[in-house]
Structure 1
């Protein structure tokens, strides 16, 4: 599904076997989008001072993940309709988990950076 963002929907009919290049492109696209979304979340957490505690950052991350799910699987499907097949509670939960993990990771890295700057 993710590789089809780069290759187009013709990818679904072109091959039914494993293709390393397609897998590599899918991984690169997925990683790039994940990093971009994590940076967006970090910006929100930092700008609105949601980095005061782990629970606060976690809640903001969960909300971000939920909004990301809605965006990816209900808005983006207008351009990439095959994403609609991945809608469901598992995918939603994974997006929420992504948001929580990204927020906590940002919080820990920011605190580590602040502690190193104090030395």
Structure 2
């Protein structure tokens, strides 16, 4: 019956979880560095604005958002970093599962295209969907943030493609 319908039996492919987590973490680091450099150069509010907009998702403290006071704060930066890196790892894991199961991790170009698509999807979810719950995130919408999410997806896909162990290496 499967042959008649043109279906192959589905075999779950192993995902290299360590490579996936490292890829998401490292891609998150690249995203953070890009944001810090971009904000330092081009954002009149300074480099800590993004941290002040991410931290209230978990801390609930929106004081700096209301006053526009985006000075460096250890607690705000720690919460923002933890949030960012945990989500980077989670998204790296999700991307790795997609790449492995759809067999897009064997060659670089399909992996990069998939990574860019995941980055685009993350941008849409983060800045179109989550703004219903966290309206201040709308202030982060824009071409620079979209580009950073595309870079995140591509870097995570590239690193997973490069770092994953094959069955013979395990």
CA distance in 2, matches of 1:27, 1:11: 19
Q: What do residues 7-62 of structure 1 show as CA deviations (whole Å, max 9, x unaligned)?
A: 12533248934321111111111111111111111111011111121001000101
Q: Which residue of 2 aligns with 1:4?
A: 56
- Residue aligning to 2:169: 116
Query: Higher Cα Rg: structure 1 or 2?
Result: 2
Between the two proteins, the alignment pairs up a number of residues equal to 115
Match of 1:74 among 122, 128, 131: 128
RMSD between aligned residues: 1.7
TM-score normalised according to structure 2 size: 0.63
Structure 1 consecutive aligned stretches of length 4 or more whose deviation exceeds 4 Å: none
| Structure 1 gaps, min length 5 | none
2:117 paired with 1:63: yes
Matches within 5 A, 1:36-115: 36-110=90-164, 113-114=165-166
Q: Larger relative contact order (C-alpha < 8 A, sep ≥ 6)? A: 2
Q: Distance in 2 between matches of 1:48 and 1:98?
A: 20
Aligned match of 1:24 = 78
Unaligned runs of 5+ in 2: 1-52
